[in-house]
Amino acid sequence: MEAVKWYKQAAEQGRADAQVRLGGYYATSSCGTLQNDVEAARYFKKAADQGDVGAQCLLGAMFDQGRGVVQSDEEAAKWYKKAADQGVAHAQCRPGSFYATSRGVSQDYVEAAQWYKKAADQGDLTAQYNMGILYTNGCGVERNDVEAVRWYEKAANKGDSRAQYSLGLAFAQGHGVVQNDALAAQWYKKAACQGNPQAQCNLGLCYITGCGVAQDYVEAMQWYKKAADQGNAPAHHNIGFMHKNGHGVAQSDVEAAKWFHLAAEQEDVTEQHGGQKLQEGIIQKLKTETGDSASHHSTSASSVLLLALLILSFFYFSFT
């Protein structure tokens, strides 16, 4: 508590590093403080107004989530851009997401691509993955499957399951690479083992058809069930067909009907939330990554806030 008292004095004297640290204490209820998002946002704002890049990123995250301030996409975008202009990679990625999904700014894929590229060149996984999406769909850049694969590979080789799944699709379809079922299955499996439901479903299909792997109905069923447990409608459908035809399980019209019904229910829920009725594929993919629904929105912004706090802990907390 004595440390908090000292930082308060320094913060009130205008020291940005003390303001950021104090804001971090209030945001995380650390060093004996009670969590107080209003105070956290107030101190972040003081430091951000002085040009502190970490505080600008944190303040953007606070507006992104509505923590301690009224939620505002416009304010979040403004503060992320201030931090991004100073070269913070994950801050550069956020304006890219905002421009791609028209959050707080007018939709502009060219602007989105420029911001994603800046972050991607610094190694940001989400930015690298989204650059792949932009090139796959020709949004903000000229469509180029080879370039898309190049960006997917960068993120996939660092363990990003979304990029691994996208590489699997590229090898399965021969887009930007020589078609190769074995490599498609390998990338699907890498993503599937990380819990990616689309990859789990596609890996199940590989085992059903024997594409890239030895045909194995039992293995297919295991992967379909993993995807179905996460609400993947195609997996529900495919499990229904396996029961209908007795592949890997005892034939049962009753079980098949149950799974077909579950698939129909899941598709209805997905459509109600806009997941399958979006006019452009790029919107669907990018909104999934950047938080179109309330739950995704909170998770994504929380990740930014956590990452920013971790970075600040290195810059501000390690050298005092």
pLDDT tens digit sequence for 279-294:
233 444 554 444 433 3
In a domain, 20, yes or no: yes
Q: Based on the structure, what is the number of domains in the chain?
A: 2
Q: Which domain holds residue 32?
A: 1-106+294-320
Residues 194 and 146 in one domain: yes
* Domain membership flag for residue 221: yes
- Structural domain contains residue 287: no
- Residues 269, 305, single domain; the answer is no
- Band (71; pLDDT cuts 50, 70, 90): very high
Residue 226 domain flag? yes
pLDDT digits (tens, 9 = 90+) for 130-152: 999 999 999 999 999 999 999 99
Note whether 258 and 155 are same-domain residues.
yes
Residue 291, pLDDT score:
40
Q: Are 65 and 5 in the same domain?
A: yes
Verify that 248 and 318 share a domain, yes or no: no
**Is it the case that residue 318 has pLDDT exceeding 60?**
no
Question: What digits encode the pLDDT tens for the residues 187-243?
Answer: 999 999 999 999 999 999 999 999 999 999 999 999 999 999 999 999 999 999 999
**CATH at residue 87:** 1.25.40.10
Whether the per-residue pLDDT at 100 is higher than 50: the answer is yes
65 & 196 share domain? no
Neighbours of 250 (CB within 10 A): 7
Q: How far apart are CA 91 and CA 87, in angstroms?
A: 8
What pLDDT was estimated at residue 294?
32
Residue 266 sits in the same domain as residue 300: no
Same domain (yes/no): 146, 238: yes
Shared domain for 92 and 174, answered yes or no, is: no
Residue type, 235: A
User: With a threshold of 0.85, does the pTM exceed it?
Assistant: no
Residues 6+ apart with CB under 8 A from 45: 55, 59
Residue 284 lies in a domain: no
Do 79 and 156 belong together in one domain?
no
Q: Is residue 270 part of a domain?
A: yes
Instruction: Report helix, strand or coil for 209.
Output: helix
Note whether 12 and 294 are within 8 A (CB). no
Q: Please check whether residue 160 lies inside any domain of the structure.
A: yes
Are 312 and 185 contained in the same domain? no
Residues 157, 269 within the same domain: yes
